[in-house]
Structure 1
Amino acid sequence: MKRAQQQGFTLIELMIVVAIIGILAAIALPAYQNYTQRGANGACLAEARSYMGSAVADLALGGAAAVAPTPPNVACATSPTPTYAQHIAGDNVTFVPRARGASAELRNVTCNAGTGSCDLAAAGGGGAAGGAAGGGTGG
């Protein structure tokens, strides 16, 4: 009498697969968190550049009585409204991106109220813990 051959995976094989998936997840999760925070930084930079372009134009055309438009605060958690005095002095204003992942990747956006140019903060210059260098160019 022939015995029926069993099919399927053994418990050991399943445990090995689960362990491999766990190792891959442990490697991928921090990289994903860094990626999402860098994306949030870039979104805040784009929002700040767009807003500062219109704010500087309004302040330049309106003179001392001008009031800059209200910032949208969609990609940035906090966004300042520059004043005419800041525009004339060329002061910097700081936009803070929303926290989306690793706090070490959080970079504030610094904009010049006189020119409207914006940059991500340098390494260690923004966020709670500093860390890897941010990027960005003025414009």
Structure 2
Amino acid sequence: MHRNSQGFTLIELMIVVAIIAILAAIALPAYNNYRVRSAEGACQAEAKAYMNQAIVAVTNSFAGFPAPSNQACSSMTGTIDAAAVASGTVITFAPKAPGTASTSCRADNSNCTMTPSV
């Protein structure tokens, strides 16, 4: 009597699960690094845009220039006024989680720098 077998054996399923686990172990750290770099890059872009607008506002004596929107950055240290622009004060922007590397911008020329954490 011949029996037709259907489905997968236990060993075949275990091999597939092991392969998926190996792929996940490789992919998840890379994905986390991507998330960190994205958060830091978004904060740097937001900081650069804000510094450009703030310097134009201060230079042209616009009153009531708003604070940064902080959509990608969690905080800004320092203030931008005529004295800060004249002296080249460094303003620092901290990214929201999961980013950790802060962006530093000079108030006299709005050059921003950041050393990525990953």
Alignment of 1:20-35 (within 5 A): 20-35=19-34
Percent identity of equivalent pairs: 45
Distance in 2, matches of 1:68 and 1:89, equals 19
Q: Deviations over 1:23-78 (max 9, x none)?
A: 11011101100011111111111111111111111111218xx5542101001111
Is residue 2:114 matched to residue 1:110? Answer: no
Give a deviation string over 1:73-92, Cα, whole Å, max 9, x none.
Answer: 00111124623222221011
Report the aligned-residue RMSD. Answer: 2.0
The answer to whether the Cα contact below 8 Å between 1:69 and 1:81 also exists between their aligned partners in 2 is no
- Give me the TM-score of the superposition, normalised by structure 1: 0.75
Pick from 96, 99, 102 the counterpart of residue 98 of structure 1.
96
Structure 2 runs not aligned, ≥5 long: none
Give the alignment's TM-score, normalised by structure 2: 0.87
Report the secondary structure of 2:91's partner residue.
Answer: strand
Contact 1:56–1:116 (CA under 8 A) maintained in structure 2: yes
More RCO (CA 8 Å, sep 6+) = 2
* Equivalent residues, number: 117
Gaps of 5+ in 1: 124-130, 133-139
Counterpart Cα distance in 2 of 1:91 and 1:68: 18
Q: Distance in 1 between matches of 2:27 and 2:71?
A: 28
Q: Structure 1 segments of 4 or more deviating over 6 A? A: none
